[in-house]
Amino acid sequence: MMGTMGAAAVGAVAGTMAGSALAGGMSSDKQAKAKEAEAAEKEAKDLQAKADEAKRKADTARADAAK
């Protein structure tokens, strides 16, 4: 649960950073930060997908153990 919440928080921060960078004028520093934010957001989405998969596996294992 904490991993899921952490990944969601990282994604929210990365999305906010990317949105802020895109809203203003794009200096090379801002462009670099926007790309970094996009990379962080992609990583957060990947981590979220892994967390969701792990939760599904854990739920399946619990259901199998209860049989």
As a whole number, mean pLDDT of residues 24-44 equals 91
pLDDT score recorded for residue 12 = 60
Eight-state DSSP code of residue 24: S
17 and 65 in contact (C-beta within 8 Å)?
no
Residue that has been written with the tokens 């462009």 in this structure = 31
48 and 8 in contact (C-beta within 8 Å)?
yes
Q: How far, in Å, CA of 43 to CA of 61, rounded?
A: 27
Judged against a pLDDT cut of 90, whether residue 21 lies above it is answered with no
Task: Kindly state the helix (H) or strand (E) to which residue 38 belongs, with its residue range.
Answer: helix 28-66
Judged against a pLDDT cut of 60, whether residue 13 lies above it is answered with no
Q: Supply the pTM of this predicted model.
A: 0.54
Judged against a pLDDT cut of 70, whether residue 14 lies above it is answered with no
More confident residue, 14 or 54: 54
What residue segments make up the domains of the chain, in order of their start? 2-66
What percent of the chain lies above the pLDDT cut of 90? 57
